[in-house]
Each structure stands twice: as structure tokens, then as C-alpha cells.
Amino acid sequence: MESLKTTIIAKNNLDLMFDHVQHGGIEIIENSTPLGVEFALHSIIEYSRHKGIPLIVEDIFDTLAVYLSHLNFMGINFEDSDIKVIKVSGGQEVGKVLARIRFENNPYVYRKKIDQELDRVIPEGKYIHLVLGLERLISLQNDPHTVRAILSLMKEKLSEERGMSIYIIEKSLVENLPLNPLPLMENVATSVIELTGEKRELIKIRLKKSRLALLAHTEYLFISPREVLRWWG
Amino acid sequence: MEWKNVIEIVESILPGETVLVKYTTSYIPEFLLRFFIDYTGEKNIPLIIDDDFDTLYTILAHAKHINLTINLDRDNVHVLKTGGQFEVGNVVAKVPFDPDSRVYLANYAEASAKVYQRTQSPAINLVLGLEELFLSTTNPLDAYQTVLRIQKFVGNKKRKSFYIINEDVMKNLPIKVLGELERISTTVIRLIPYHTGADLKVLKSVNPHLIETETTIDIEGWD
């Protein structure tokens, strides 16, 4: 892990970082920085393309479209085939939509449908399952029943070795809810990283609960989207 | 891993005490579980783990991810399980969760009494996942019934209890009971994580020698 001791992460190290979490399990990426989600999403798409691991986005209430349109302004476009999508309600279709399911008041029914679609879309081999827009669902159904369902379904995914689940959460959208599920979700997740700030075009990553922090003996990493993803290039 | 200072603290805890161990998001529960298993195994003290809502299973999955060895399969380790679906370790009693706290707590009291009857005193009792019990109690009265039940265990010399609680979780639940848990506890310990360890501080203790004790647990060279 010598190469990760530098706190500024270059492109090949970003792959290394993902390789480290690519053991199944659940990763939460919390964002509290202006372009953090765009950065995380772009990195995940690049990694999936580069490694040939299919990416399936669970796109709740049109959240994917938000970030793709921002990236588009920055001159970054993707082929629809790069992003396979399971739409959960909403009508703004981006990426390659493989399935549409309706928003369900019963979170267990909802999750069962998602799992069925995941099994259908990727019957075998590795995959990355990215959940976007969970904040919207939690804001609309801010009750213990929904949170319990999210937690128990996360627990069921803990031993999934084939695929990794990534939840990207905009922290400011959940932390003031009467029931903020984020700390509970952090407890269940295998790893938690937080995008905490931008400093002269660098994104600061806090390894809040991460194997990488133990191995690299560091809590913070810096990464330059300009260098790694050729933003503003 | 160097646990000498922690062992001294644990040994200063008196039978009957209820110890609240507060932490924030990290692998602290994983390393604490490992510590308690090693410690009780070496001293041959019974370890009774309250596993609420599959927390033990979750901890074992995380431990595997970071290559931390945790072996629950020991004669002195007993698991008292509430809710959940993944059984790990030697489950000696299962208490189904009931949203009516009176029903649940009565069932729990009965099951736990049987477990403690069979084990040598004082056992060490490690409580994992209590936060989710409070998530599942949806009105303040139910939450307080649970607090009162925990309170009744204070002074029960059959065990020394350690409640491992994520304080951010407790602060973000609709019903706030962390303050009550701190009040009824005889010792309150706070753990603040850093990338390869945690800083420990005793915030409250009935034992004057322990008050404001501070130490650092570094997990350098874990396996």
C-alpha cells in the first residue's frame, strides 16, 4: 500500500481505492461539498468502464439526471450504454433504462422489486449497484418503518461478494430531518467516506470508516478532478 | 494491539455496574468485540452478548472486510438475540421483538433471567445494537419503558454490563434518550476514533479513581 501513502491521489490510485472496496459490501459516500457528487459519479462511471464491471444505477426520483446535466455543462458526456438504470418513479430518463418501477409505500415491496430487477439485469459476474436519490425517498417517508427496511436490506447485502453497493448521500438533505437515518446507515455500512471540502480545485476525502485508512495510515486524502478526470481541461 | 490500560479500566468496574460506551462511526465496535472475547476467554469469564437486530452479524461482516479475526465459537460466549434473522455465535435465547414494549420487555426479562441463572457470576454483558431497539419504539412511553428496564438492571451483581452505543445515532433518533442512558449509567466512557485507533476518556464513574482517566487504544498490527 506504499503508493497510497501520498495524500494526493493520482489516477491509478483512484482505481486502487475502488479495488479495495470491490469486495462486495456496502460503501456510503457522503457529500457536503458543491461538486462532490458529480465527482463521485464520474469516478464510478470511469472505473466501471475501465474495469468492465457493469454499473447499475438505482435512480430514485430523477436524481441521476441532475448530476449528468451538471457534468454535461462541464463538457463531460457518457454513452447511454455506460450507465444501466433502474428507474424508481420520476420521468426524466437518462442512461440505458432497463426497468421502471413505481415508488412503493411499502419499502419491502419496493426493495423486492429492485432485487428482482438486479438479478434479471446481472445474472452473474461482478457488478456495481449505485443508489442515487435515497434522500428524496427518506424525506417523503421519514418514518421508522422505512428506515428499518433500508437498514435490514443493507444487512442482507453485507455478505454479497459479487457486487458492491454504493449509496451516495447529500448530507445536508438528510441531517435536519426529524429522523436522520445516516448515522444508522453508517453503522451498517462496510465503509464510509465523506467528501468534505474543496480547496483550490482539490476535493478532500475523509476516510471515516475505511479499510484504506487502516492500511494507508491516513484519515484524509486529496484528489484533483482536473488531473484525475480531466475536468475543466 | 495494546489493551493493558483498557484491561485496568474494565477490572475497576464493579459487579452490578452499567457502563455506557459511546462512540461515533468507525470500526470501534469490531475492535471492542474482539477485545472482550479475548479478555473474557483468557480470564474464563462468561461473556453474554445481547445481539439486537443482527448487529453481531453486521460486526462480523465488517471484521472480515478489514481482516480482523473474531472467533465467537468459544465455550464462555453466549448470545441473547433480539429480532433479526442472522444467527451467529452460540444463541442461547431468542426474544422476538414486539413493538409493544411491555410485551417485548417481559419476554426479554424472562429469557435473560434464565441465561444468567446458568452462568457463573459476575458475567460480562456486552449490549450491541440497542440503538435499533430505540428506532423501533415509536412513542416516548415505549422508549421510557425500555429505559426503565435498563435502569432496573443497574446493581444486578450477576453481571457487569457494557452498552456499546453510537452517540450520533442516538442524537438523530426522533426520541432522545441518550441523556437518560447517561444518567442511569454508573460509568460513562467516550471513545473518539482516529484513523488507526481511538482516544478513550472516562466521563463519569462511581469510582473516583476512574474519573477523567484517559488512554489511547492503537490498533497497530491488528490481525
pLDDT of residue A168: 98
User: Given an 8 Å threshold on Cβ–Cβ distance, is A23 in contact with B58?
Assistant: no
Q: Are A117 and A131 in contact (CB under 8 A)?
A: no
- Whether pLDDT at A211 is above 60: yes
Residue A55 in this model has a pLDDT that exceeds 90: yes
Report yes or no: A166 and A30 within 8 Å, Cβ to Cβ.
no
Closest C-alpha to B222, from A207, A192, A193, A213: A213
**CB-based contacts of B60, cutoff 8 Å, min separation 6:** B70, B72, B88
Torsion, Cα A5 A10 A13 A15, to 10 degrees, reads 160
- For the record, the C-alpha cell of B73 comes out as 465459537
Backbone angles phi, psi at A50, to 5 degrees: -60, -40
Q: What is B4-218's CATH number, 3.30.420.310, 3.40.50.11570, 3.40.50.300, 3.40.50.1370?
A: 3.40.50.11570
Of A105-119, A156-170, A173-187, B66-80, the poorest mean pLDDT is in: A105-119
- Sorting pLDDT into bands at 50, 70 and 90, what band is A111? confident
Chain B residues with CB under 8 Å of A27 CB are none
Please tell me the distance from the alpha carbon of residue A170 to that of residue A35, in angstroms, as a whole number: 11
What grid cell was written down for A86?
Answer: 433502474
* CB-based contact, B27 to chain A, within 8 Å: yes
Cβ-based contacts of A152 with chain B (< 8 Å): 53-54, 85
Q: Which of B31, B138, B173, B194 to mutate to test the interface with A (most CBs of A within 10 A)?
A: B173
| pLDDT beyond 90 at A213 | no
Taking residue A228's Cβ as centre, other Cβ atoms within 10 Å add up to: 20
pLDDT of amino acid A212: 85
Beta strand A191-199 with A26-31: parallel, antiparallel or unpaired? parallel
Match 461482478 to its residue by C-alpha cell: A126
| B187 and B207 Cβ atoms separated by less than 8 Å | yes
Closest Cα in chain B, distance from residue A39 (Å): 24
In this predicted structure, what is the pLDDT of residue A28? Answer: 97
Residue B2 in 3-state DSSP? coil
Which residues of chain B make contact with A151, given a CB cutoff of 8 A? Answer: 53, 132
Considering only CB atoms, A155 lies closest to which of B54, B66, B166, namely: B54
**Which residue from A25, A144, A219 is facing B135, i.e. has the nearest CB?**
A144
pLDDT in tens, B135-171: 988 889 999 999 999 999 999 999 999 999 999 999 9
What cell numbers appear for B69 in the block?
A: 479475526
Nearest CA in chain A to B192: A208
Residues of B in contact with A213 (CB under 8 A): 195-196
- Structure-block grid coordinates of residue B216: 489511547
**Which residues from chain B sit within 8 angstroms of residue A211, using beta carbons?**
65-66
How far is the first Cα of chain B from the last one, in angstroms, to the nearest whole number?
9
CB contact under 8 A, B196 and A214: yes
Q: Round to whole Å and give the CA distance between A27 and A50.
A: 20
Tell me which residue has cell 447499475: A56
Residue entry with cell 470511469: A46
Across the interface, whether the CB atoms of A148 and B136 are under 8 A apart is answered yes
The residue with cell 472467533 is B71
The size of the A-B interface in CB pairs under 8 A is 78
Q: What phi, psi does B60 have (nearest 5°)?
A: -65, -40
Residue B141 CA to residue A17 CA, distance in Å, equals 46
B121 min Cα distance to partner chain A (Å): 31
Q: What is the pTM of this model?
A: 0.93
Strand order in the sheet with A163-170: A8-9, A220-223, A202-209, A191-199, A26-31, A163-170, A127-132, A55-60, A84-88, A96-101
From chain A, which residues contact B within 8 Å (Cβ)? 23, 25, 144, 147-148, 151-152, 155, 158-159, 175, 178-184, 186-188, 190-192, 207-209, 211, 213-214, 217-219
Cross-chain Cβ contact A191/B65 below 8 Å: yes
Partners of B82 on chain A (C-beta within 8 Å) are none
Q: Which residues in chain B show pLDDT less than 70?
A: none
- Cα A197 from Cα B147, distance rounded (Å): 39
* Partners of residue B54 in chain A, C-beta under 8 Å: 152, 155
- For A25-43, the DSSP string reads SEEEEEE-STTHHHHHHHH
CB contact under 8 A, A178 and B174: yes
* First vs last C-alpha separation in chain A: 30
A179 contacts in chain B (CB < 8 Å): 172-174
pLDDT value, residue A3: 43
CB atoms within 10 A of CB A66: 17
Ordered by where they begin, the domains of chain A are: 33-192 (3.40.50.11570)
Quickly state the pLDDT bin for A2 (edges 50, 70, 90). very low
Q: Which residues 93-132 of B have a C-beta within 8 angstroms of A? A: 131-132
CA–CA distance, B146 with B156 (Å, rounded to integer): 17
Instruction: Summarize the confidence of residues A10-14 as an average pLDDT.
Output: 72
Is B85 in a helix, a strand, or coil? coil
B79 sits in which H/E element: strand B77-82
Q: By mean pLDDT, which of A40-44, A84-88, A197-201, B197-201 is the weakest?
A: A197-201
- Give yes or no for residue A96 having a pLDDT over 70: yes
Predicted ipTM of the assembly:
0.93
- Nearest-5° Cα angle at B6, B4 to B8: 75
Rounded average pLDDT over A198-226: 86
User: Are A155 and B86 inside 8 Å of each other by CB?
Assistant: yes
Higher-scoring residue by pLDDT: A24, A34: A34
Length of chain A: 233
CB atoms A155 and B138 under 8 Å: no
